[in-house]
């Protein structure tokens, strides 16, 4: 319905340039569907987290604790952090959005890497700022390229470490070099959504930098290794002034009681975490090696997923259709600038074996 004489509400500049985020498909043919398109946990959530979640059902009339005190204390105890510098959010997506909202405006620039997580350009453009893309090398963030992209207008740098969808990471020495090269007024946001999976000795999610400097934030999520994606729960470790900004602009009850309760139980269930780590530690290298043998290039990953690059003679659209026909849902990567690639989450044993068998048949 147009009302030309009176005009119409217009969104702020930049909003209509945003390509809406498209989540992974969740359906396929066949009786048994293996959803490997969203980096979800094949083990589900900790039984203790499920019990805590169910308990909340008895008191849905109550507002949550708006400062998520129990959860911030549990996280602080687990990692040796200051609870008042932790801010919880409805998924780390909300925290990434809030950081952009707090620190970006029209005329500002924010940097992310070439195949960086797609929430960053959305968060940047939503706040009227311009996204500057720093090229990667071998599907890995390139510190020199990021530093070269800095201008007087730069206010924020988003770095996923490890990155999704590539699965690659920067060693802590490189993250420190990046931080050291940034002007003090540029906020470095280290998105460590997959930190728990990383086994490399030279990796650090960035807590030490946050403790020392006023311009570094680290975000984490309960969606991946904890298997609580449905509840929407993440947290940020911040310098005190940044925590203050986030606490001013976030919704007063942005995290639900169910998420708080399940999060506390999950973070205290070390044996479930060990199980999840052992599962990924067993299947990630197996998948990489089995798939690599088939003539599909596999980017080395430290997360719970693999990026597969299909050769021209075996095009990715056919591979995707072939897998879907067998009930296996992978993620197409055009939106990430990787048109010949598929991203595949580590699944349970049955899913992983089905993937390898299907790809073997497809590549034959």
Ligand X SMILES: *Cc1c(COP(=O)(O)O)cnc(C)c1O
Binding residues for ligand X, rule: CB under 6 A, are: 39, 91-93, 117, 160, 164, 191, 193, 221, 223-224, 229, 234
Smaller CB separation from ligand X, 334 or 350: 334
**Phi first, then psi: what are they for 307, rounded to 5°?**
-100, 120
Smaller CB separation from ligand X, 93 or 196: 93
Residue 116 CB, nearest distance to ligand X (Å)?
8
Contact between 329 and 33 under an 8 Å Cβ cutoff? The reply is yes
Residue 38 CB, nearest distance to ligand X (Å)?
8
Residue 290 CB, nearest distance to ligand X (Å)?
24
253: how many CB neighbours lie within 10 A of its CB? 14
Contact between 263 and 222 under an 8 Å Cβ cutoff? The reply is yes
Residue 122 CB, nearest distance to ligand X (Å)?
12
Smaller CB separation from ligand X, 198 or 294: 198
Q: Report which residue's Cβ sits closest to ligand X.
A: 91
Across the strands, what pairs with 216? 188
Residue 303 CB, nearest distance to ligand X (Å)?
8
Smaller CB separation from ligand X, 160 or 355: 160
Smaller CB separation from ligand X, 25 or 314: 25
Smaller CB separation from ligand X, 46 or 354: 46
Residue 226 CB, nearest distance to ligand X (Å)?
10
Report the alpha-carbon distance of residue 321 to residue 185 in Å, rounded. 47
């Amino acid at each position: 319905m147009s009302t030309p004489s009176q005009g119409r509400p217009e969104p702020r500049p930049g909003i209509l340039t945003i390509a809406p985020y498209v989540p992974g498909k969740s359906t396929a043919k066949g009786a048994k569907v293996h959803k490997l398109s969203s980096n979800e946990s094949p083990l589900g959530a900790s039984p203790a987290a499920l019990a805590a979640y169910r308990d909340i059902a008895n008191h849905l009339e109550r507002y949550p604790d708006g400062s998520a005190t129990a959860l911030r204390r549990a996280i602080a105890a687990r990692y040796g952090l200051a609870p008042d510098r932790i801010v919880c959010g409805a998924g780390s997506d909300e925290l990434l959005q809030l950081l952009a909202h707090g620190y970006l405006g029209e005329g500002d620039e924010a940097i992310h890497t070439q195949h960086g997580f797609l929430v960053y350009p959305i968060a940047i453009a939503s706040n009227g700022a311009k996204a500057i893309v720093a090229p990667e090398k071998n599907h890995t963030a390139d510190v020199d390229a990021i530093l070269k992209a800095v201008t007087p207008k730069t206010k924020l740098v988003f770095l996923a470490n490890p990155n999704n969808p590539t699965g690659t990471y920067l060693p802590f020495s490189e993250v420190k070099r990046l931080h050291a090269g940034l002007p003090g007024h540029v906020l470095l946001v280290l998105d460590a959504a997959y930190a728990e999976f990383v086994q490399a000795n030279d990796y650090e999610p960035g807590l030490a930098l946050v403790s020392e400097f006023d311009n570094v934030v680290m975000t984490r999520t309960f969606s991946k290794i904890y298997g609580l994606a449905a509840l929407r729960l993440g947290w940020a470790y911040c310098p005190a002034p940044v925590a203050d900004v986030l606490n001013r602009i976030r919704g007063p009850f942005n995290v639900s009681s169910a998420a708080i309760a399940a999060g506390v139980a999950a973070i205290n269930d070390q044996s479930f975490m060990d199980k999840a780590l052992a599962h990924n530690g067993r299947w990630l290298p197996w998948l990489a090696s089995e798939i690599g043998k088939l003539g599909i290039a596999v980017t080395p990953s430290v997360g719970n997923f693999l990026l597969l690059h299909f050769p021209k003679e075996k095009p990715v659209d056919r591979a995707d259709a072939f897998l879907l026909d067998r009930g296996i849902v992978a993620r197409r990567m055009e939106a990430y600038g990787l048109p010949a690639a598929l991203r595949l989450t580590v699944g349970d044993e049955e899913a992983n074996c089905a993937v390898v068998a299907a790809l073997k048949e497809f590549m034959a």
